[in-house]
Amino acid sequence: MLTDTIGNLFDFIPEANITEEYLYNHPGEYPVYSGQTEAQGILGYIDSFNQHLPCVTFTTYGVGAGKLFYRQGKYTIGRNCMGLRPKKIYTDKINLKWFSYSFQNTFYRLRIGDTEGQRSLNKLLLERQVITIPDIEIQNKQLMQYGHLELALQRVDRLLVSLQKISNFSRQYPTDSIVAEGKFDNFFQFSGGNSGLTEEFIYSNLPQLPSDSIQILTGSTLERTSMGFISRYAKPKGEKLKIFKAPSIIVARKGYAGKMTYISDGEFTTNDDAYVLAPKLEWKDSINLEWLIYKYQGLFYSLVTSRSDNATFNKEYAERQLIKIPKIDLQNSMVIKLSQPKTLISKSNETKKKILNLLEHTIV
């Protein structure tokens, strides 16, 4: 059994500043691992590498700060990410794959920052953290338990791939059904949220009557997308509260940048971490917003300043994108066809989330 600080047990591997431009100009077969947590943290592939030994990477900044991944093969550690590798005297005493599972919650607990937004994990804090690592035989035995969960996760992932293929097929429509084509801002209006909607301000401006109550929605993709309610007469930073009407779409500006969330009815407000997207008046009855999300969510994910958990959605770039609008009846038909795979995908993702939660807890 080993009991010591992380800094005494492991060497830290620093990040390399790999830009999107470099990725584009140096395509290859070797992965670049970044601080993003989607797609297993793979930012892209290049024609070189700076690591060839196994390690554990962790996200240093963003909404996914502290996330651990086991890495092997030839690769590069990119931005907002660092690596851990046992010091030579401990190489045969620490199973890195086991470590990535067993200490996930420890790394999450060491994060600092806003619990609802960007967080960070400091190297100096990690270096001083004391941990206990059992004998290698115990690590290997526990890893077998994690393996059963990994197998279940792989099965869910295969189901999600199949459902996504069905979903993609259902999005198609005849080319002669297009009624309009042009830049995004020909059809839609982006509106910014309210600056200054902090928890303290909200607490100080709670509604006194039900009729004064306005729900605060955010662009978060976490389970809790509502920040509660506020008085419609509140004035964040001295400005009149911006109140929006559904149907409309909330677009996340930061963190899970580009994520589109459909709001079906009612009045609401939002903070400045989100945009509110709505069709212009002349297109109000010609566009189904649920269809828009199905068709263009992928485009919105690509319109960010960087592919990492601290990315920012580029509204100006989005407004210049060319889109096609089919007949409204075809939009409505697509939404109906996609409702069943959407429900199955949602349930499968919930199952996946539960498995991932189990993987992130210590098995004893």
- Specify the CATH number for the domain of residue 266: 3.90.220.20
* Residues 111 and 246 both lie in one domain: no
Is the full-model pTM beyond 0.85? no
Question: CA-CA distance, 84 to 13, in Å (whole number)?
Answer: 6
Residue 309 has pLDDT above 70, yes or no: no
Least confident of 91-100, 258-267, 338-347: 338-347
Residues 275 and 139 in one domain: no
Going by pLDDT thresholds of 50, 70 and 90, the confidence category of residue 163 is: confident
Element (H, E) at 163: helix 136-170
Alpha carbon distances (Å) from 81 to 15, 69, 121, 182, 202: 6, 11, 10, 39, 34
Q: In this structure, are 304 and 341 located in the same domain?
A: no
Cα 255 from chain centre: 6
Instruction: Indicate whether 205 and 163 sit together in one domain.
Output: no
164-191 tens-digit pLDDT: 776 666 566 777 789 999 999 999 999 9
Q: What local confidence, expressed as pLDDT, does residue 5 receive?
A: 94
Same domain, 179 and 255: yes
Domain carrying residue 21: 2-133
Domain shared by 287 and 348, yes or no = no
Take residue 240 and report the two structure tokens written for it. Answer: 């009149």
Whether 147 and 206 map to the same domain: the answer is no
DSSP calls for 295-353: HHHHHHHHSBSSSSTTEEB-HHHHHT-EEEEE-HHHHHHHHHHHHHHHHHHHHHHHHHH
Indicate if 318 and 185 belong to the same structural domain. yes
Average pLDDT score over residue span 141-154: 79
Number of domains comprising the chain: 3
- Co-location of 182 and 223 in the same domain: yes
Residues 181 and 199 in one domain: yes
Instruction: Read off the pLDDT of residues 96-126 as tens digits, 9 standing for 90 and up.
Output: 999 998 898 899 989 887 665 578 888 898 9
Whether the CB-CB separation of 258 and 252 falls below 8 Å is answered with: yes
Select, from the ranges 49-53, 155-159, 352-356, the one with the highest average predicted confidence (pLDDT): 49-53
User: Is 155 found in the same domain as 11?
Assistant: no
Question: CB of 214 within 8 A of CB of 241?
Answer: yes
Query: Does 76 share its domain with 8?
Result: yes
User: What's the CA gap between 50 and 136, in Å, rounded?
Assistant: 28
pLDDT on residue 224: 45
